[in-house]
Amino acid sequence: MADHYDVLGIARDASADDIKKAYRRLARELHPDVNPSGDAAERFKLVTHAYDVLSDPQQRQQYDLGGSGGFGGAGGGNFGGFGDIFETFFGAGQSQRGPRSRRERGQDALLRVEVELEEIVFGTTRQLEVDTAVLCETCNGSCCSPGTEPATCDICRGSGQIQRTVRSLLGNVMTSSPCGTCRGYGTVIPSPCPTCAGQGRVRARRTIPVEIPAGVDTGLRIQMPGQGEVGPAGGPNGDLFLEIKVKTHDTFSRSGDDLLATLEVQMTDAILGTTATLASLDGDVSVEIKPGTQSAEIITIKERGITRLRGSGRGDLKVGVQVVTPVRLNSKETKLVQDFANSRRPIPPQFSTFQQGLFSKLRDRFLHL
């Protein structure tokens, strides 16, 4: 390929303005709309590519290291980079180079989902609306307008790579870099799809059915393979991750797979005993208050907690009893309580033997409720 400076007709020390002026002059002369001949079209492509390289200071500096031979210039000891040096001396074999695919894997997506405590007892199904990238229906991921297709890049001839010779201490080293015209794809899109602007995907809202298993807890992430964004040019979908947050419940709280609740019991019911029917998260439960029940006692109802995420069965419902002492009594009630007190041997309040279990129950109850 000809030297870029020769293509533009400028000296090697030309300024940025000189490069721009030369390009504009040649572009007006060779543009296909002005000069339809095939030779002019080929020269126009060379001029455009030469300008792209020389107008970029970094690319120009790298190109200048290759001398006046241009791309693919001959020289002694041509190696395709340090990988080829090792392959030459150690027989590792020739490396494989080629254009990269436009189809890439889509990004993963993270979605936070709030669920009620009732929903995680047995699990639930949700229909979630997600704003994400989906396949373009107009081009079906081809990126081209209907009836058209990608064209081979005229600059790199479909390889996706541009090679140039760089002088080094080892001699002239052949380097390879992605083609600036096709960005390494080896093809260009002459007529991009009008719907997706040549991306092969568009933004859209779609509904995804989600199975939320029983027993999940706040902070748990559920992976849904292939439910993330579709990739560029119709590439495979990424994954969707659901991060769970369980809402606070007014009555019940959670400790592992167990449900915790507080039950207020009147003093007379605690003395005489009773049975209460209570509404749990999945139906009514019967709670037996035994005679003489004390505050901070825990009543355990088996298998009425949360279904275990791992394993089988359910946790328990643990009810902490709180005996309610009446604070306003009428005269009749006061006399009855006085008669009851007088009927028992008067025992003044005093310290009793320390009960570690009582404090453990109180501590655990207030930590969890």
Which residue ranges are tagged as binding site?
Answer: 136, 139, 153, 156, 179, 182, 193, 196
Task: Measure the CA–CA gap between 335 and 341, rounded to whole angstroms.
Answer: 10
Q: Are strands 221-224 and 201-212 parallel, antiparallel or unpaired?
A: unpaired
Residue ranges for the known binding site for Zn(2+) are: 136, 139, 153, 156, 179, 182, 193, 196
Assess contact for 263 and 322: CB atoms under 8 A: yes
Nearest to 71 by CA among 183, 185, 179: 179
Nearest to 82 by CA among 178, 176, 159, 164: 176
Distances (CA, A) of 53 to 80, 179, 181, 199: 20, 10, 10, 25
CA angle, 346 then 351 then 356, to 5°: 130
For tokens 């790199």, what's the residue? 156
Give the distance between the most distant pair of CA atoms in the chain.
122
